[in-house]
Amino acid sequence: MALDLSKGQQLQQGHKISLSKGGGQQISKAFIGAGWDMLPGRQAVDLDLSAAMFDANKAHVDTVWFGDKKNNRSPVYHSGDNLTGAGDGDDEVIKLDLSIVPASVQSIVFTITSYRGHTFDQLESAFVRFVDQSSGPDDQKAVYKLAQFGRVTALVVARLYRHNGEWKMQAVGAQTNGRTVQDLIREIQSSYL
């Protein structure tokens, strides 16, 4: 059962989402997916899904985004940049293998930004979702519907963080503005770690 993060009471900063499966097993393989459609008149919309990584002292360690996608052997990697929103389902995906994320990475913060400046209130079908792929069929854990966030161009979606040797997830849902994740690093460090 997915947590629908479009409901106001569930958008409070700090809402926790369990990453434990039955029997205490932790999620190891997962992805963050984002999907959207072109605007009426076939106007292309370029949203960008990104992951910024930080150490225990809040220092920025690395970023996975359209400018540095990594490769499919990396513990965090990007599927590629979709410049239009054409197609069904997830238009951009960041895959995670949490079992091999370096120990120096204590937090992974996910963002979505509008590169061409379209505000989220224009994008009725846009979403971001967190999906567990650890065993069997995909298990959607949480989903944000972006239109509810209004006249902003960026969202700090969620934070994965280590706690007592296990990965936890914190819903953030913070509205902000920026064209790329690089515009948000300082804000993430000061407000969401």
Q: Which residue has the higher pLDDT, 64 or 8?
A: 64
15 — pLDDT class (breaks 50, 70, 90): low
Q: What's the confidence (pLDDT) of residue 9?
A: 35
Instruction: Give the C-alpha separation, 170 to 183, whole Å.
Output: 21
Of 8-12, 81-85, 166-170, give the lowest mean pLDDT range.
Answer: 8-12
Mapping DSSP to helix (H, G, I), strand (E, B) and coil, where does residue 33 land? strand
> pLDDT tens for residues 55-112?
999 999 999 999 999 988 899 999 999 998 888 889 999 999 999 999 999 999 999 9
Going from the C-alpha of 173 to that of each of 3, 8, 16, 28, the distances in angstroms are: 13, 10, 12, 23
User: Phi/psi class of residue 122: alpha, beta or left (left: φ > 0; alpha: ψ in -120 to 50)?
Assistant: alpha
Look at residues 6, 84, 83 and name the one whose alpha carbon lies nearest to residue 39: 84
Going from the C-alpha of 132 to that of each of 4, 70, 184, the distances in angstroms are: 15, 21, 26
> pLDDT tens for residues 122-163?
998 899 999 988 866 678 888 889 999 999 999 999 999 998
Where in the chain are the domains?
Answer: 3-191
Is the separation of the CB atoms in 132 and 141 below 8 Å?
yes
Q: Taking the CA atoms of the chain, what radius of gyration do you get in angstroms? A: 16
Look at residues 7, 78, 16 and name the one whose alpha carbon lies nearest to residue 47: 78
- Above 60 in pLDDT, residue 14? no
Q: What's the confidence (pLDDT) of residue 40?
A: 81
CB atoms within 10 A of CB 115: 16
Is the separation of the CB atoms in 129 and 93 below 8 Å?
no
CATH of 3-191, one of 2.60.60.30, 3.20.20.70, 1.10.1370.30, 3.20.10.10: 2.60.60.30
Q: What's the confidence (pLDDT) of residue 24?
A: 61
Q: Give the residue-averaged pLDDT of 154-176.
A: 90
Q: What's the confidence (pLDDT) of residue 41?
A: 79
- Above 90 in pLDDT, residue 18? no
**Do the bridges between strand 3-4 and strand 139-145 make them parallel or antiparallel, or are there none, so unpaired?**
parallel
